[in-house]
Chains A and B, each alone.
Chain A
C-alpha cells in the first residue's frame, strides 16, 4: 500500500482526484443499476413461474370439480332412470294387490313386485360397487386390479394381465383407492384411444418406493404429450390423474419403451403400509 503515500510534485493531483472520484462514482452507480436491474428480472421471472403454477393448479381443481359433477350426474341418472321406474312399477303391483281381492292375482302381483325389488337391489349394488369396488376394500389393490383385468379380458377384444411382484404389505386404503382410480382411468384411455392388443401391469418395490408400471402396444403418450395436454383445456381425464396423484405426492411418467414398440406409464410413490391389515 506504499503507493498511497507517494508524494510526487510532478503529478497533477487535481486531475487524478477528479478522474478517480468520477470513475469510482460511475462504477458504483453502474453496479447498483446492474444489480437492481438483474434482481428485477429474476423477481419477475419468479412471479411468472408462480403465476403459471397457480394457473395449472386452478385447471386441476376445475378438472376435479367437473369430474365430480359428472359422477354425480351419472349417479342421479342411474337412480332416476333405472331405480325410479323399477320402484314405481313395484308400487303399482302392490297397489293392485290392495284393489284386487282375487288370491291368485294377489300372489302373482306380490311375486312380480318381489322380482322388481330384487332387480332394484342388484341395480343399487352395481351403483355402489362402481363407487367403491368391494374387492378393493376387502382384498386390496392386487385383487381389484386382477378382477378388473379379468372382466376386460373376458370381453375378448384385448388381453389384460397384471403381476404384483411384492405386495405382501397393503398400502393405506385411501392410497389403494386413488391408485385404482388412476389405473382405471389409464386403462380406460388405452381401451378408448390406443388400439392396442394387450395391457400389462406390473408392481414392484424398491426400498421405500412403490412402483406400478403399465405397458401396452398401441398408440400412446410421452411425458411431453402428457405435460402439453395437462396445460391445455382438453384432457380432463389426464388432469384428473394428475390431481389424484398430487394427493399422494406420487409421480407419473409417460414414455416409449427403449425398443420403441411399447408405451410405458410408471407411477411411483412413497410406501406407507397400512397399519390395520
Chain B
C-alpha cells in the first residue's frame, strides 16, 4: 500500500506535464510555464531522492532538498507575484522573498552535514507561500471581476498550493523529531497531498483560458 502511494505520488508529477503538452495552445501564459517548470523540478527531485538512499548519501539528499525548497519557493512565489495586482502586496512578496532566499542559502551553508531534512527552511517556505496565497485571494476579492473566481485557472493552482502546503506544514515542522518508522507512516500525508496538488494543476492546465473563462456580462445576458 505504502509503495503504491509512493509510486502514485511520484508519477502524479507527470499528470500536469502531460496536460500541459496536450493543451499547449491554451497554456502559453508565463504563469503557466512557471507551474510547468515547478512540476518538472518536483519530478526530478523525487527521481534523485528515490535513486539515492538518504542513509548512504546524506549530503546529496540535504543538498537536493535544500535546492528544491529554494526552487519551490521561487516558482510558487513567482506564480503568485505575476497574478497579484496590488503594488503593496507585490512589495511584501518581493522583500520577504528576498529575505527568505538569503536565509535559505545561509542555512544550507551552516547546516550542511548536520541534517537529513531542511526542516526550518521548508516550514518557513510553507508559511510564507500560504500567506502569499491569502494575499492573492484578498487582492482578487477587492477587484471587480467579470467572472467567478473558480472559472479561472489561477484559482485551481492556488487551491492546490494551499492544500499541499497547509497539509504538510506540521509534517515539515516536526520532521526532525521523527523516528524512521514514524517518518514512514506520516510521509503518506505528503504523498496523498502531492497527488491532490498535481491533479488540481492538471485541471488548471486543462481549463480553457481567456475567451470562455473570462465571460463578460454581455455574454451572460446574450446581448
Contacts of A24 in B (CB 8 A): 166-167, 169-170
Contact of A28 with B163 at beta-carbon distance under 8 Å, contacts A4-B123, A47-B217, A51-B221 already known: yes
Kindly supply a per-residue 1/0 record for chain B positions 173-202, scoring 1 wherever the CB is within 8 Å of any chain A CB and 0 otherwise: 110111000100010010000000000000
Interface secondary structure of B, over-half rule: helix
The verdict on A35 contacting chain B, using a C-beta distance below 8 Å, is yes
The verdict on A39 contacting chain B, using a C-beta distance below 8 Å, is yes
The verdict on B171 contacting chain A, using a C-beta distance below 8 Å, is yes
The verdict on A95 contacting chain B, using a C-beta distance below 8 Å, is no
Contacts of B220 in A (CB 8 A): 47
Contacts of B134 in A (CB 8 A): 31
Kindly supply a per-residue 1/0 record for chain B positions 49-74, scoring 1 wherever the CB is within 8 Å of any chain A CB and 0 otherwise: 00000000000000000000000000
Contacting residues of chain A (141-173) with chain B, CB-CB under 8 angstroms: none
B162 touches A13 (CB 8 A): no
B145 touches A39 (CB 8 A): yes
Contacts of B168 in A (CB 8 A): 21
B124 touches A1 (CB 8 A): yes
Contacts of B140 in A (CB 8 A): 35, 39
The verdict on A20 contacting chain B, using a C-beta distance below 8 Å, is yes
The verdict on A38 contacting chain B, using a C-beta distance below 8 Å, is yes
Contacts of A98 in B (CB 8 A): none
Q: Which residue of B lies closest to A42 (CB)?
A: B141
The verdict on B149 contacting chain A, using a C-beta distance below 8 Å, is yes
Kindly supply a per-residue 1/0 record for chain A positions 12-52, scoring 1 wherever the CB is within 8 Å of any chain B CB and 0 otherwise: 01101100110011011101100110111011001100110
Contacts of A25 in B (CB 8 A): 163, 166-167
The verdict on A7 contacting chain B, using a C-beta distance below 8 Å, is yes
B182 touches A36 (CB 8 A): no
Q: Which residue of B lies closest to A2 (CB)?
A: B120
Smallest distance from the beta carbon of B172 to chain A beta carbons, Å?
Answer: 9
> Which of A31, A40, A51 makes the CB contact (< 8 A) with B148?
A40
Contacts of B171 in A (CB 8 A): 17, 21
Smallest distance from the beta carbon of A199 to chain B beta carbons, Å?
Answer: 42
Smallest distance from the beta carbon of B54 to chain A beta carbons, Å?
Answer: 19
B149 touches A39 (CB 8 A): yes
A7 to B176, CA, bound (A): 8
A16 touches B170 (CB 8 A): yes
Smallest distance from the beta carbon of A88 to chain B beta carbons, Å?
Answer: 50
A32 to B149, CA, bound (A): 10
A137 to B173, CA, bound (A): 83
The verdict on A260 contacting chain B, using a C-beta distance below 8 Å, is no
Contacting residues of chain B (96-134) with chain A, CB-CB under 8 angstroms: 119-120, 123-124, 134
A36 touches B170 (CB 8 A): no
A36 touches B186 (CB 8 A): no
Q: In the complex, which of the residues A8, A25, A28, A51 has the most CB atoms of chain B within 10 Å of its own CB atom?
A: A28
Kindly supply a per-residue 1/0 record for chain A positions 121-153, scoring 1 wherever the CB is within 8 Å of any chain B CB and 0 otherwise: 000000000000000000000000000000000
Q: List 14 A-B contacts (CB under 8 A).
A: A7-B177, A13-B178, A21-B168, A21-B170, A27-B166, A28-B163, A32-B159, A35-B137, A35-B149, A36-B149, A36-B150, A39-B145, A39-B149, A43-B147
Interface residue ranges, B against A (CB under 8 Å):
119-120, 123-124, 134, 137, 140-141, 144-145, 147-150, 159, 162-163, 166-171, 173-174, 176-178, 182, 186, 189, 217, 220-221, 223
